[in-house]
Amino acid sequence: MTGIGTIVNIIAVLAGSIIGMVFKRGISDKLSESLMKALGLATVFIGITGVLSDTVTVIDGRLSVSGVLLMIVSLTVGTLAGEAMRIEERLEGLGEKLKKLKIFASGGERFTEGLVTAFLVFCVGAMSIVGPIKDALYGDASILFTKSVLDLTSSMIFASALGVGVMCAVIPLAVYQGALTLFAGLVEPYLYTLGDGRLVSNLSAVGSVLIFGVGINLIFGKRLRVGNMLPALIVPVIYAICQSITVLLK
């Protein structure tokens, strides 16, 4: 069944979020704070390893770094755009509206942080891009099944510390992976041919930096407006398209 991987992934996040929020009710504020800092350390580690895996390679026994300049430009341009659009402020406004709904009353005060954290961890990375495409084109949902197990565990921990915003991340997850599944035939040929063929790696690297920022916020409090940096994820796509156009015009 096409799309079964994304469906399982959504169910895993929902289940993990519910379990995490139920668990949250039975722990003290002190334990919750300690758990959040531990979660921050794990998130920082995920971000660092993601950046290194997508930018550092070993060629003939020597380390080679690529994509760093694009990453810097992406973060700069993306942050400028995000600040202008006031993305984080709008997310916080959405959180305030959701808090008025009874179903979202619990944990609503950290809605934005939970949503942005979960979105980055669940939706940014090679598995969330390649997984839906393989599921749609080849009927191979193994990548998404593996991702579902990871997301189940992550959502439990995130929801226990950050609340209902984590559960709401299933909406962008469903839209993002669902769209890739539906349009896999159109998207797949360009993932590794646009520009220099590093689109997936560049996207993953920028996303990993944002995940690192989320980890910093979890450890030290809200120091970075990561929500306003989200447009940085669009820059590598635009760059790859411009590269391909330049090649065609030559």
Domain that holds residue 241: 4-249
pTM score: 0.80
- CA distance readout (Å), 23 to 32, 111, 120, 139: 10, 17, 23, 36
Element (H, E) at 84: helix 68-85
pLDDT digits (tens, 9 = 90+) for 67-82: 899 999 999 999 999 9
pLDDT confidence of residue 139: 86
As a whole number, mean pLDDT of residues 52-75 equals 85
pLDDT digits (tens, 9 = 90+) for 121-175: 888 777 888 889 888 888 888 989 999 998 998 888 888 888 888 888 898 899 9
Does residue 56 sit in helix, strand or coil?
Answer: strand
Q: What confidence category does residue 99 fall into, taking pLDDT thresholds of 50, 70 and 90?
A: low
Counting every residue written for the chain, the total comes to 250
As a whole number, mean pLDDT of residues 195-217 equals 86
**Average pLDDT value for the chain:** 84
pLDDT digits (tens, 9 = 90+) for 12-53: 999 999 998 888 776 677 777 787 788 788 888 888 988 888
Total domain count, the chain: 1
pLDDT confidence of residue 239: 92
pLDDT confidence of residue 246: 86
pLDDT over 60 (residue 108):
no
pLDDT over 90 (residue 238):
yes
Q: What is the CA radius of gyration of the chain?
A: 18
End-to-end C-alpha distance for the chain, whole angstroms: 43
Q: What confidence category does residue 211 fall into, taking pLDDT thresholds of 50, 70 and 90?
A: confident
Q: Which residue has better confidence, 120 or 174?
A: 174
pLDDT over 80 (residue 97):
no
Instruction: Give φ, ψ of 140 to 5 degrees.
Output: -105, 100
Q: What confidence category does residue 195 fall into, taking pLDDT thresholds of 50, 70 and 90?
A: confident
* Whether 200 contacts 78, CB under 8 Å: no
Q: What is the DSSP string of 110-176?
A: GHHHHHHHHHHHHHSSHHHHHHHHHHHHH---HHHHHHHHHHHHHHHHHHHHHTTHHHHTHHHHHHH
pLDDT confidence of residue 234: 92
